[in-house]
Structure 1
Amino acid sequence: MYVRSFLLLVLWLVGANSHLLKFEDCGSVKGRVVQVDFVPCGYLNIEFQMLETVQNATILMNQIVEGKPEPAPLPYIYACNQYDFYGLRCPLRAGGRYNFSLDLAQEEPEFHLKGRFTLKDLSAHVIFCSQFSFWFC
């Protein structure tokens, strides 16, 4: 609870620097993305709404290179087991709105990326799939 409150406070404080990103749905089934908020050199936040209840979920990130998705590793594939990391707690209930948050601050040079994020239940059914362009710092 405290970590989520802290993360929301940080997002609110840097809100003046945040950008709502245009996103494309790429096959959402059990949920839908409501908005994607991006803070350059900071956080990526995907707000989504559940259409069905799921007990647990995995998150996958791909970078789109020449129109084809290529895996881009995330620190944890289980979206709910690392609450302090992604801000999700399972089960994800039908009708609920949730925020998947990812810290993008890195020590590498800045680069632009077209990415695809897919949240799946443990039976590999797609909850949401969304793709958009953003940049790492």
Structure 2
Amino acid sequence: MDVRTGFVVLLCLMGFTCADPVKFKDCGSSSGKVAIVDITPCTSQPCELHKGQSYSVNVTFSSAVVSQTSTAVVHGIIAGVPIPFPIPMEDGCKSGIKCPIQMKQQYHYLNSLPVKSEYPSIKLVVKWELKDDDKNDLFCINFPVQIVS
């Protein structure tokens, strides 16, 4: 059993929801490549995000560049219009990534996605980007969600 499989098994045994990785679309990862996107808890797809709760987002990616910094930018895409979606920590170097980021290394970006009570009940696409020093995307992913009461 490899290390990643062992880690997933350990999380399952600790009581975390074991769900399939989230289906995502790459939206222009020019400085890296995404391997897996996990949102916890997310037991169905699109992920149902309940108002007033927070969700854990884990993106496993490899970098094609060296970067001293990384900055997350998140938008909700509603009817083709990107609307900024605030997250608690924009600094990727404080979100599970040890900076400086090295070329050809794999990283686990960890952040939370809070869903405010005042958000409307709606289906939308989340666009999550992690930018390098040059503002190029270490990763850019789109994934569908549904905000529910």
Is the TM-score greater than 0.5? yes
Farther-moved stretch of structure 1 (12-21 vs 103-112):
103-112
**Structure with greater helix share of residues:** 1
Matches within 5 A, 1:23-62: 23-40=24-41, 42-62=55-75
Counterpart-to-counterpart distance in 2, 1:23 and 1:105: 19
Between 106-115 and 122-131, the greater mean CA deviation after superposition: 106-115
1:119 aligns with 2:130: yes
For the aligned residue pairs, the C-alpha RMSD in angstroms reads 2.7
Contact 1:19 1:39 in 2 (8 A): no
Gaps of 5+ in 2: 1-6, 42-53
Whether contact under 8 Å (1:14, 1:39) holds in the other structure is no
Aligned mates of 2:147, 2:30 — CA distance in 1: 28
Aligned pair count reads 125
- Listed one character per residue, the Cα deviations across residues 34-67 of structure 1 (whole Å, up to 9, x for unaligned) are 1111212642211111111111111100111102
Q: Does residue 91 of structure 2 align to residue 78 of structure 1? A: yes
* Partner SS state of residue 127, structure 2: strand
Q: Summarize the Cα distance change of 1:121–1:20 in structure 2 as closer, same or farther, 3 Å threshold.
A: same
Whether the aligned pair in 2 keeps the contact of 1:105 and 1:136 (CA below 8 Å) is no
Aligned residue in 1 for 2:4: none
Q: 1:89 aligns with which of 95, 98, 105?
A: 98
What percentage of residue pairs aligned between the two structures are identical?
28
Tell me which structure has the larger Cα radius of gyration: 2
